[in-house]
A = this chain, B = another copy of it.
Amino acid sequence: MKRDSRLSSVLHALLHMAEHDQPMTSETLAQCMTTNPVVVRRTMGLLREAGIVASARGPSGGWTITADLETLTLRDLHNALGEPAVFAIGNRNETPDCLVEQAVNAALHDAFAQAEALLLDHFAQITLATLARDFARRHAARRQTTPHPQE
């Protein structure tokens, strides 16, 4: 099953952007994430529509964060990406005539709905600021264990 990694991707991009004062170009972000600039534009474009980032063209252009990291949550990003399907498991036929299949679908639907609600609630409680601090903590820990890294 191929997984949608856009949420992971935009998080990665946003945290890098948060550390930069200047706008970052699609090209730079694409290198960070070992992907293609066009893919970056496409995905970041969705965040722009949601008012989370802004883009500027021309020299010294690129992407900047406009949202407040203290209030921006993973849930916001998930929504901005169009609330993609959370589960890789689903019903064979969503609107079956067969009563047996209807009973099966109903049971699975409940289970999936509960799990999705939990996941999205969890997402709503994680802000980008929290993640940025988590990264800072990891960064400090690494500097401690490897005193002279080549950065």
Interface residues of A, Cβ cutoff 8 Å to B: 1-5, 7-9, 11-12, 15-16, 32-34, 74, 84-93, 98-108, 110-112, 114-116, 118-119, 122-123, 126, 130-131, 134-135, 138-139, 142
A2: chain B residues at CB < 8 Å are 1-2
Chain A interface, DSSP helix/strand/loop, else mixed: helix
- Given the known interface contacts A87-B88, A90-B8, the answer about A114 and B119 at a Cβ–Cβ threshold of 8 Å is yes
Query: A118 contacts which chain B residues (CB < 8 A)?
Result: 114-115, 118
The copy count of this chain in the complex is 2
Q: Nearest 9 pairs between A and B by C-beta?
A: A3-B90, A115-B119, A5-B92, A103-B135, A88-B88, A111-B122, A11-B104, A8-B91, A103-B134
How far apart sit A90 and B92, CA to CA, in the bound complex (Å)?
A: 22
A131 touches B104 (CB 8 A): yes
Other-chain contact of A126, B5, B32, B107 (Cβ < 8 Å): B107
Q: For A88, what are the chain B residues with a Cβ–Cβ distance below 8 Å?
A: 1, 3-4, 84-88
